[in-house]
Structure 1
């Protein structure tokens, strides 16, 4: 029986799996860049964004850290609330693959 780490290593040897993982990581980092840029442009700290979202600073830290680590993807509703706290709105578009 394979361990979790062995299973991941085996899966990442398959080109399609590695390619998809790389794509997902790029997209999550792009979301993080948008959120951090919005917060910076608004001149807000994590605590100020949290207060405007009606939550606590650790929640905003988890959103940003989760995206940075690739271990958590916030919901669209959470992204919308975060951006609204920064005076922005979410606009979704599609691009060719």
Structure 2
């Protein structure tokens, strides 16, 4: 049986896989890392976040899943509500 690292190396040996992996690392992982860090710092449960957002726990769960998978992409308004619920704000910049 192959290890995770061996399987990863094998997959990344394919050009298309490597290109997509690099795009995800560059474009999506920084956002996910920021969200997870902010969530950890807030120390809130999904129920607490849902209450602060004026929604329900399943909606927060779907949002957090969307942040991880990118499907479907949450709206800026939803991200702003989520950010406010965990004591943060959203800043969008083109660089």
TM-score range normalised by the length of the shorter chain: 0.5 to 0.7
- Mean Cα displacement is larger for which, 73-82 or 33-42? 33-42
State the match for 2:53 in structure 1.
53
Structure 1, unmatched stretches of 5+, are 1-14
2:70 maps to 1:70: yes
State the match for 1:11 in structure 2.
none
Cα RMSD for the two superposed structures: 2.5
Aligned residues of 1:39 and 1:45 also touching (Cα < 8 A): no
Alpha-carbon displacement from aligned partner over 1:36-67 (angstroms, at most 9, x marks no partner): 22121111111111110000111111011122
State the match for 2:28 in structure 1.
28
The higher-RCO structure (CA 8 Å, 6+ apart) is: 1
Q: TM-score, normalised by structure 2?
A: 0.67
Note the C-alpha offset of 1:20. Answer: 7.0
Equivalent residues, number: 81
Structure 2, unmatched stretches of 5+, are 1-15
